[in-house]
């Protein structure tokens, strides 16, 4: 059974994309425990020191996402990748607020590597999530809103087999229904990249995510690194 996959048309346009995907089951979510909060705050300070005065647009992982957005007709200074938005918040405000255990865990790894990490509630999904070009008929409700919207034709989206949009503009913003909440017990975690060292960085980020999930959320996980030759996370698979 496919859990997460890239459509062939995406791989044809973006042959360099590398994704990491984790199916985490029997996890526990809730308020972020003190030890993880401490790690998260320390990571934020380390990232701030590492970035210094470097413009975010000059960080290669973020610059590669900007190029990917432009390639499907989106202005990346108007719609920033999730990783750039997080780092922009951090560099301007000095901190990123805690949301919950699973979201904070994903955000910690996102700022560490400058890569978008999505934590997706599985209860709302129908079949596999596919990264593909929208036809415009798919349904989307923005995080924090209840109104239904539709993506632009040819915009890159995550959607399930019922045409429910999980994320618009590839990694710009997640849907309301797919956000990890206190009741989340099964989730899909994704991390993606386009830059030259993408495979190395995705492998490292996936390793960190699995370790953090095991230590703080419990449960079991199945993971895979996805690319043009291996375009899907399939369950069951080798751990």
pLDDT (tens digit per residue) in 181-211: 999 999 999 999 999 999 999 999 999 999 9
- In the block, residue with structure tokens 């990264």: 131
State which residues form the domain around 205: 3-7+12-124+185-234
Measured distance CA(110)–CA(121) in Å, rounded: 18
Percent of the chain predicted with pLDDT > 90: 92
- Give domain status of residue 163, yes or no: no
Please list the residues that pair with 21 across neighbouring strands.
190, 224
- Give domain status of residue 49, yes or no: yes
- Give domain status of residue 227, yes or no: yes
Count structural domains, the chain. Answer: 1
Measured distance CA(20)–CA(202) in Å, rounded: 6
- Give domain status of residue 140, yes or no: no
State whether residue 16 is helix, strand or coil.
Answer: coil
pTM: 0.95
- Give domain status of residue 57, yes or no: yes
- Give domain status of residue 93, yes or no: yes
Alpha helices (runs of H) in the chain, residue ranges in sequence order: 8-13, 34-51, 60-71, 82-93, 101-113, 198-212
* pLDDT tens digits along 70-107: 999 999 999 999 999 999 999 999 999 999 999 999 99
């Amino acid at each position: 059974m496919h859990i997460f996959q890239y459509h062939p048309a995406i791989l044809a346009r973006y042959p360099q994309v590398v994704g990491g995907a984790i199916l985490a089951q029997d996890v526990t979510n809730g308020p972020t425990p003190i030890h993880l909060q401490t790690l998260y705050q320390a990571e934020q300070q380390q990232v701030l020191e590492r970035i210094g005065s470097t413009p975010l647009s000059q960080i290669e992982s973020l610059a590669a996402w900007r190029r990917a957005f432009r390639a499907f007709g989106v202005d990346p200074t108007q719609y920033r990748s999730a990783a750039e938005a997080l780092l922009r918040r951090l560099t301007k405000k000095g901190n990123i607020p805690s949301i919950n255990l699973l979201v904070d865990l994903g955000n910690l790894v996102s700022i560490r590597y400058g890569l978008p990490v999505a934590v997706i509630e599985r209860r709302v999904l129908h079949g596999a999530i596919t990264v593909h070009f929208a036809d415009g008929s798919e349904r989307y409700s923005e995080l924090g809103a209840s109104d239904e919207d539709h993506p632009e034709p040819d915009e890159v989206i995550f959607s399930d087999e019922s045409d429910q949009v999980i994320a618009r503009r590839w990694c710009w913003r997640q849907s309301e229904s797919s956000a990890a909440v206190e009741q989340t017990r099964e989730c899909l975690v994704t991390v993606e990249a386009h830059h030259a060292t993408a495979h190395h960085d995705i492998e490292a980020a996936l390793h960190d995510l699995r370790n953090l999930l095991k230590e703080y959320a419990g449960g079991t996980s199945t993971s895979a690194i996805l690319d043009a030759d291996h375009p899907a996370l399939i369950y069951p698979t080798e751990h």
